[in-house]
Amino acid sequence: MAKSSGKRFMKLAGMTASIAGKAAKNSFKHLSSDEEKRLQARSELMQDVGIQIAETLGEMKGAVMKVGQIASQYKDVFPPEVASALEKLQKDAPPMPYAQIRAQIERELKAPVTELFSEFEETPFAAASIGQVHKAVLLSGQKVVVKVQYPDVDENCDSDLKQVRMALKIAGVLNMNKQLQEQLFNEIRQSLHDELDYTKEAHNLRVFGAFHAEDEGLIIPKVISSHSSKRILTLTEEMGETLTVAATWDNEIKQKIAERLFHFTAGQLFGLYRMHCDPHPGNFAFRKDGSVVAYDFGGIRSYSDSEVQLFRRFAKHALKGDVTALEQDLIALDIRRDDDKNIPGEFYEKWISIGLKPLSIEPYHDGAFDFGSSQVHHEAIAQMRVSLKYFGQFQPSATTMMLDRTISGQYWNLVNLGVKIDLSPLVDEYIEV
């Protein structure tokens, strides 16, 4: 263990040192350059740094790769060159040899695999950054899936995170003050620790399973406690098709799926004050009757009553187009810096008109919205370029970080599903204007 820990540390420390050298060389070389040359050089440095971070993290399993994946979802925190390099880490990780997986199961469940399961597929059907999933059959004949955490991942978590943070800081890629850095990395650390504790995930599965028990067409696997521990999680097998397959179905079925995904996220936020914050398409499966199966309840974020009321108020003001009240909400959410700089109302109005379009909110969009041909993300990028001069007045917020990740993830799920739907009646169910 100490050996693998030391190796990891050396690899990450080497990456940090190399980045520090590049950053110093870059700033020295361009001391006397004009602004444009300096910006160009910085962009090239960021590209280089992004690739180096992604490559180093990609070779390493566990928390450090997960940090890269999480980081790639917060594009506003990192320069675009770094964010796009980190996105490569979103792809499936290569699996770990079965012998190590079997040893981990037997160590955790204190019995040979042959005594625990009548069948166990040695090849995983999914491999991620901190563990992999195998299909199996219990002695009772019940079909299950077994999620196995890679050995030693949890022990390396904090030192991995420290090294990544140091590398990003030295490269000058963290566009925020120290206090905000602290908040964001605490949020990432917390979500990592939560995901590494499968007993917590088992508890989450029971809570969310009970919460959605009456929601027809929303399926959450059940925990098999006898075959679960801190690093092993055994669940009932609940299968379905991928998003790519679901995208080929009739729009009527796709509408049912979209409604369920909407209720899944909004219902939890406004009804449970806790939310499944990893809407990666691989965490859902879909059935021909429009049912949605949800997996992976490790990344859960809980919200206080005052936070949820603030989100609700923000949504109300956006729907009403009340930009003065909206700006106050953004200050309360720590997104808008509380300063004297005046931002014209049109700035907010433009963003509202882009953001509310997919929800079929009039006057921004009338009738069903076609997600398959949505231009909203392109409009947002174009608008960002136009409004760069105001961006110093805004900052990433630890309160909304997971919420942003969830909403944008679900937007992309609907785009990839290619559904045509009017979501405004669903908005009305949760937000009374």
Average pLDDT by stretches of 10, the chain with 433 residues: 65 80 75 71 78 73 63 61 67 78 97 98 85 95 96 78 75 68 79 87 97 97 97 96 97 98 97 93 94 92 96 97 96 90 93 96 94 94 84 85 90 96 96 85
Torsions phi, psi of 160, nearest 5?
-55, -50
Confirm if 31 and 179 have CB atoms less than 8 A apart. Answer: no
At a CB cut-off of 8 Å and minimum separation 6, what does 396 contact?
A: 74, 76, 77, 176, 180, 184, 335
Bridge partners for 389 per DSSP: none
Place of tokens 């009456």: 214
For residue 167, the SS3 value is helix
Which residue type occupies 167?
Answer: A
Question: Residue 166 corresponds to which tokens in the numbers above?
Answer: 């140091």
Residue 106 to residue 231: CA distance in whole angstroms: 11
pLDDT of residue 287: 98
Residue 229 to residue 262: CA distance in whole angstroms: 32
- Count H helices, E strands: the chain? 17, 12
Residue 171 to residue 16: CA distance in whole angstroms: 9
Please choose, from the candidates 425, 423, 412, 419, the residue with its C-alpha nearest in 3D space to the C-alpha of residue 359. Answer: 423
pLDDT of residue 1: 42
Residue 117 to residue 135: CA distance in whole angstroms: 10
For residue 239, the SS3 value is coil
pTM value > 0.85: no
Torsions phi, psi of 134, nearest 5?
-120, 145
Question: Residue 76 corresponds to which tokens in the numbers above?
Answer: 């506003």
Preceding amide of 358 cis, omega within 30:
no
Largest Cα–Cα distance in the chain? Answer: 74
Residue 231 to residue 218: CA distance in whole angstroms: 26
